[in-house]
Structure 1
Amino acid sequence: MTSPRRADPRTILVVGGGTAGCALAALLRKAGLAVDMVEAMADWNVYGSGITLQGNALRVLREIGVWEQVRARGYSTDGVSITTPDGTVLFTQQDAHTGGEDLPATLGMQRPALQEILTEAVRAAGTGVRLGLTVEELTQDQDGVQVVFSDGSTGRYDLVAAADGISSSTRTMIGITEKPVPTGMGIWRTPAPRPAEVTRTHLAYGGPAFIAGFCPTSETTLYAYLVEPNRDRAGIDPATYAEEMRKLAAGYGGHWDAIRDSITDSSQINYTWFDRHLVEGDWHRGRVVLVGDAAHGCPPTIAQGAAMSLEDASVLAELLAGADTWDDALLTAYRDRRMPRVRMVVDASVQIGQWQLDGVRDADVPALMARTMTVLKELP
């Protein structure tokens, strides 16, 4: 599997237009490579109430060139306030500046706002984008990948990057069998108006839920979440999501009183399970390579899922742009460079949740977080 540098740009197909796919496409275009993208959703939208981005995620967004837009539409914070269920603040812990001292420690923003910024960057970079399209067939040889799309069209590429999420069909198509495994927790999320006094994340451990938290996402908004033992999603009528979340939130006071009153629109509420996912072997087969959630995923207990996907995109783009030859050694180097850091984040994220599931009251969560963040301060 070799690809000597040619006068014409080598071509890459990015499958999936979420955080990892958009970041990779934008970075590859900055490097002068020819990039096409296909995204299954015809409106290219990402649903969700909010996202927490720590400094190492912001560092990649700055590399892409969208940091100023992200800063303008998000809400920068410097710490987390730990509270009792009634809202009393016990202490405030300062967040680590994992992206360097010149970036905020943490920034919250509305998830659709981040998607809009990234998709605009992808288009502005000159990526060939086709929406409402999936990959139906991949045929590889030593020189490239022949792709058949869901509309019957075809294309040939030097490399295919699978950024189609934790349930990646491309991953299955190339014979990688690892799949996400539920950890036993589920999370309710909703957007809500931000009280002026809420200037950082608040987390309550205990009460009716394992975790009750909220994070500012703009000058006027926040997103709130409640973590509980996972339920059979098929047994919950989506029309009752607002009622279900209000019931669970009834055990919390302080700012939760106003947040709870705002939970009225079930269509704005998202309920998902926590999963652990990590492809242990190679992250590629021939000329098809996994990026982001297609390769790994974890509960949001340390808010590093998006950061790991963004770092994947940065590292893979750096390696592809700097290499005369795209071969197994290069794609293995990508996986080897990412694996220790990703495994640390996945394991730490799952461990925090498992301590709660097991009722471990003396778990040293701050020490685990401190060790993890110390590593994340280093460049990926």
Structure 2
Amino acid sequence: MIVNKVGIVGAGMAGMTVGILLAEAGVDVEILDSAAGPTQLGSGITLQGNALRILRQIGAWDRIKELGYAFDSIGIRAPDPHATVLAIIDDVRTGGPDLPATLGMRRPDLAAVLRELVHESGGLIRYGCALDGIDSDDHTATAILGTGERLTYDLLIGADGINSTTRRLLGIEVEPRSTGAGAWRVVVPRPADIVRTDLIYGGPHYLAGYCPTGDDSIYAYIIEPAQARDVKDGAVIFKELAAGYGGPWKEIAASVDENTSINYTWFTTHLVEEPWHRGRVMLIGDAIHNCPPTIAQGAAMALEDAWVLAEELNDGNGTLDEALLRVRARRFERAKTVVDSSTQLVEWMVDGRTDTDVAGVMHKVATMLEVPA
């Protein structure tokens, strides 16, 4: 192992996963999160096979398969009053034949499992630790917190998401840009006939879809032009948007009320070409590459980053700088393909294009992802 003590900024999927892997290898791991404590925010998440592969490797699979809902196909429905099923397509098992193609689950449940594994591996999560500055030299990286506390490590990993403070403190000027689309997401009870993700293109909005997240729950989403929205009015707005769809959407809309978990976000994208590290500070996950969820690969790319970084550090070959350069070399083209493809699908929706090969783009990405990171 090239490093003995590592600080990780951000207790999200990338941060906790790399923390688990390094702690299990004997590294002293501290995860610094700006939140006051563990968050229960978030709707659902779609985890494809290559994400499940990493989660199995860190020991999470047996836990999440009991909490989530697995399926191996995707449905396409018509924007008619009955949401007629037009096609059911077998999905690619990108994690290998012994894992499902997709598992849907609630984001807070996944976060809770990862937190348990961090603690079991010997890692530490410190809350209320907002990053305010960084000092890095040839031998150490120091995180300067908003409280003035200075924490020094052999390596500091920035896994603090789309609006990464670490990225900005490193002087990297790449920022997320809007794709022109925004999404409403709700968590509601699962109608009995929803057993996979079904998508509706060509209806009153860009896209409507849902994903089962457990035996008794789904998260449903409607994608529209990005605009200023007040989530306080979310229940009313979502019901109005959903009224344009039939079939299971009638039951989904009827389930939404003022107590429903609802959020609204714009789809953004960014990719840092290089560098991915400066001195002894390394960026991973959404901090370095962020894509719209049109191919459901954002979480998977973050998890793969964590796996590759831990693997290169554990190899112990060469200097730390050489190991971090190898991480980018292994990850860049794969992440770029996912970011470009996900963004392309959104741009086609926003532009109202009908002469496109959505299935071809998705198949190309899935075929690439069958090969482990």
- TM-score over 0.5 for the pair: yes
Deviation at 1:267, TM superposition (A): 6.3
After TM superposition, the structure 1 stretch with the greater mean CA deviation from structure 2, 19-28 or 351-360, is 351-360
Distance across 1 between alignment mates of 2:48 and 2:116? 22
The match for 2:63 is: 69
From 128, 134, 150, the equivalent of 1:132 is 128
| Counterpart AA for 2:329 | D
Deviation at 1:301, TM superposition (A): 0.4
The match for 1:203 is: 199
Q: Is the 8 A contact 2:208 2:221 kept in 1?
A: yes
Deviation at 1:46, TM superposition (A): 5.0
Paired residues for 1:216-227 under 5 Å: 216-227=212-223
SS in 2 for 1:264: coil
Q: Is the 8 A contact 1:238 1:266 kept in 2?
A: no
Name stretches of at least 5 consecutive residues in structure 2 with no aligned partner: none
- Are 1:339 and 2:339 an aligned pair? no
From 338, 341, 346, the equivalent of 1:348 is 341
From 112, 122, 137, the equivalent of 2:108 is 112
- Are 1:56 and 2:50 an aligned pair? yes
Distance across 1 between alignment mates of 2:143 and 2:332? 28
Deviation at 1:149, TM superposition (A): 1.7
Distance across 1 between alignment mates of 2:177 and 2:225? 15
Could you list the per-position Cα deviations for residues 66-116 of structure 1 after superposition, in whole angstroms to 9, with x for gaps in the alignment?
100010100001111100123110000111000000000000001111011
Deviation at 1:323, TM superposition (A): 1.4
Paired residues for 1:224-263 under 5 Å: 224-232=220-228, 236-263=229-256
From 76, 85, 90, the equivalent of 1:89 is 85
Deviation at 1:328, TM superposition (A): 2.2
RMSD: 1.3
Distance 1:39 1:19, change over 3 A: same
| Counterpart AA for 1:11 | K
Paired residues for 1:1-380 under 5 Å: 10-85=4-79, 86=81, 87-232=83-228, 236-265=229-258, 268-380=261-373
Identity across the alignment (%): 46
Q: Is the 8 A contact 1:239 1:267 kept in 2?
A: no
SS in 2 for 1:269: strand
SS in 2 for 1:315: helix
Distance across 2 between alignment mates of 1:308 and 1:165? 12
Q: Is the 8 A contact 2:33 2:128 kept in 1?
A: yes
Distance across 2 between alignment mates of 1:81 and 1:118? 30
Distance across 1 between alignment mates of 2:274 and 2:169? 16
SS in 2 for 1:331: helix
SS in 2 for 1:320: helix
Q: Which 4+ residue blocks in structure 1 deviate beyond 4 angstroms? A: none
SS in 1 for 2:214: coil
After TM superposition, the structure 1 stretch with the greater mean CA deviation from structure 2, 328-337 or 64-73, is 328-337
What is the number of residues matched between the two proteins? 371
Distance 1:266 1:296, change over 3 A: farther
Could you list the per-position Cα deviations for residues 274-297 of structure 1 after superposition, in whole angstroms to 9, with x for gaps in the alignment?
011100111111100001000000
Distance across 2 between alignment mates of 1:217 and 1:326? 43
SS in 2 for 1:151: coil
Name stretches of at least 5 consecutive residues in structure 1 with no aligned partner: none
After TM superposition, the structure 1 stretch with the greater mean CA deviation from structure 2, 45-54 or 20-29, is 45-54
Distance across 2 between alignment mates of 1:267 and 1:281? 41
SS in 2 for 1:217: strand
Could you list the per-position Cα deviations for residues 337-380 of structure 1 after superposition, in whole angstroms to 9, with x for gaps in the alignment?
10010000001101111111122212111111111100000011
Q: Is the 8 A contact 2:48 2:297 kept in 1?
A: yes
Could you list the per-position Cα deviations for residues 136-155 of structure 1 after superposition, in whole angstroms to 9, with x for gaps in the alignment?
22111111012222233222
Q: Is the 8 A contact 2:24 2:122 kept in 1?
A: no
Q: Is the 8 A contact 2:270 2:291 kept in 1?
A: yes
Distance 1:46 1:376, change over 3 A: farther
Q: Is the 8 A contact 2:231 2:263 kept in 1?
A: no
